[in-house]
C-alpha cells in the first residue's frame, strides 16, 4: 500500500506505535470473544496501524464472523477494498445505522479523529444493548471527561450522559510521538462497556431522552454558578430544584446520581 505510506488523509494523525496498536487490537478482539460478539467494526482505519493487528488477532477468533471498516477517505477506502477488506466509504457521523448496525452484537475499535470523536461516540453510545464493548482512542482531555468522577474538574454533562449507560475505564496513555505527524496533545485509549442498568431511569422515548439532555445542558451551561442561579427561570427547570429537594446552592458538578434522578423526575412531571 505505497500510497498510504506517503499520504496524510483529512488531517488525521496516524498511529505508528506498533506496541500500542497491538494492545488496542488484542483488547478489542479479546473483549469481543468474551462478550459473544459476532462482528467487529473499525472506524477510520487510515493506514492500518490497528487494522493489521486486528486482522491477525481475528484469524484466531472464529466466533467473530464479520470484520468490516468505515473509512471517509476515498483513496484509503479503495485501497482497503483492493485488499479484500470489507470497507464502507462514508463519513460515519452521517452513515445510516442500517449500514453499520446490521450485525450484532458488535464490538467497535477506533483511533478516533479529534475533530469528530465525540460526535462518533455519541452515535455509538445510543446502542448499549447492541454494542457490548468499545475500545476507542480520544484526545486525552476528552477521555478524562468521559471517565471523570463526581465533583471533579473534568466532570460535566458529557460524563453524566455517557456514564448513565456505560462504564468507562482507562486502558493506556498514548504520547504524541506515537503518531505521524505528532499532535500537540496527548491521547488516551478507553474501554467502554454497557451497564446492566442505567443509573437514571429514563423512559425509552425521544421526548424523555431529549428532556434529559436539556436538563444536563442547562445545568452545566453556567457551571461555576449555583444551580438556583444557573438554571433558566422559565419553564420547569428552576422550580424542579425545590420539588426534587436538591440543594440549589450546589453547582451541577457536585450533584450525585440520586440527585440527578430526583431532579429529572421533578422536571419530567412538569414538562412531559
Q: What is the 3-state secondary structure (H, E, C) of the chain?
A: CHHHHHCCCCCCCEECCHHHHHHHHHHHHHHHHHCCCCEEEEECCCCCCCHHHHHHHHCCCCCCCEEEEEECCHHHHHHHHHCCCCEEECCHHHCCHHHHCCCCCEEEEEECCCCCHHHHHHHHHCCCCCCCEEEEEEEHHHHHHHCCCCCCCCCCHHHHHHHCCEEEEEEEEECHHHEECCCCCCEEEEEEEECCCCCCCCCCCHHHHHHHHHHHHHHHCCCCCCHHHHCCCCCCCCHHHHHHCCCCCCCHHHCCHHHHHHHHHHHHHHHC
Locate cell 485509549: which residue?
Answer: 189
Kindly report, as residue ranges, where domains of CATH 1.10.8.100 are found in the chain. Answer: 206-271
Angle formed at CA 110 by CA 206 and CA 41, multiple of 5 degrees: 70
What is the pLDDT averaged over residues 140-151?
Answer: 95
pLDDT score of 272:
62
Mean pLDDT of the chain: 93
Kindly report, as residue ranges, where domains of CATH 3.40.50.150 are found in the chain. Answer: 2-194
Task: Give the model confidence (pLDDT) of 77-116 as tens digits.
Answer: 999 999 999 999 999 999 999 999 999 999 999 999 888 9
Length reported for the chain = 272
pLDDT score of 2:
29
User: Structurally, what CATH architecture does the domain formed by 206-271 represent?
Assistant: Orthogonal Bundle (1.10)
Domain 2-194: which topology? Rossmann fold (3.40.50)
What is the pLDDT averaged over residues 206-212?
Answer: 95
What is the pLDDT averaged over residues 214-234?
Answer: 92
State the Cα–Cα distance between residues 192 and 166, nearest whole angstrom: 6
What is the pLDDT averaged over residues 35-40?
Answer: 98
Report whether pLDDT(4) > 70. no
Report whether pLDDT(8) > 60. no
- Count of CB atoms situated within 10 Å of the CB of 15: 21
Task: Give the model confidence (pLDDT) of 165-196 as tens digits.
Answer: 999 999 999 999 999 999 999 999 999 999 99
pTM of the predicted protein model: 0.92
pLDDT score of 210:
95
Paired residues of 107 in beta bridges: 40, 133
pLDDT score of 235:
84
Percent of the chain past pLDDT 90, that is, above it, reads: 88
pLDDT confidence tier of residue 10, bands split at 50, 70 and 90 = very low
Report residue 107 CA to chain centroid gap. 12
Report whether pLDDT(226) > 90. yes
Paired residues of 160 in beta bridges: none
Amino acid at each position: 500500500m505505497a500510497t498510504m505510506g506517503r499520504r496524510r488523509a483529512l488531517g488525521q494523525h496516524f498511529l505508528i506505535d506498533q506496541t500500542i496498536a497491538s494492545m488496542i487490537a488484542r483488547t478489542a478482539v479479546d473483549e469481543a470473544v468474551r462478550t459473544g460478539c459476532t462482528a467487529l467494526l473499525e472506524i477510520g482505519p487510515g493506514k492500518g496501524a490497528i487494522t493489521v493487528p486486528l486482522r491477525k488477532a481475528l484469524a484466531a477468533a472464529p466466533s467473530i464472523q464479520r470484520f468490516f471498516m468505515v473509512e471517509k477517505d476515498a483513496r484509503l477506502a479503495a485501497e482497503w477494498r483492493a485488499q479484500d477488506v470489507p470497507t464502507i466509504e462514508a463519513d460515519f457521523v452521517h452513515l445510516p445505522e442500517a449500514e453499520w448496525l446490521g450485525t450484532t452484537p458488535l464490538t467497535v475499535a477506533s483511533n478516533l479523529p479529534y475533530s469528530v470523536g465525540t460526535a462518533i461516540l455519541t452515535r455509538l453510545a445510543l446502542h448499549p444493548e447492541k454494542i457490548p464493548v468499545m475500545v476507542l482512542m480520544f484526545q486525552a482531555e476528552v477521555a478524562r471527561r468521559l471517565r471523570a468522577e463526581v465533583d471533579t474538574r473534568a466532570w460535566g454533562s458529557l460524563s453524566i450522559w455517557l456514564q448513565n449507560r456505560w462504564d468507562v475505564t482507562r486502558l493506556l496513555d498514548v504520547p504524541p510521538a506515537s503518531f505521524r505527524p505528532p499532535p500537540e496533545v496527548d491521547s488516551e485509549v478507553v474501554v467502554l462497556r454497557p451497564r446492566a442498568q442505567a443509573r437514571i431511569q429514563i423512559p425509552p422515548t425521544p421526548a424523555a431522552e431529549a428532556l434529559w439532555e436539556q436538563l444536563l445542558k442547562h445545568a452545566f451551561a453556567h457551571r461555576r454558578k449555583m444551580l438556583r442561579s444557573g438554571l433558566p427561570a422559565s419553564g420547569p427547570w428552576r422550580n424542579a430544584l425545590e420539588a426534587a429537594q436538591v440543594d440549589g446552592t450546589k453547582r451541577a458538578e457536585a450533584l450525585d446520581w440520586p440527585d440527578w434522578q430526583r431532579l429529572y423526575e421533578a422536571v419530567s412531571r412538569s414538562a412531559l
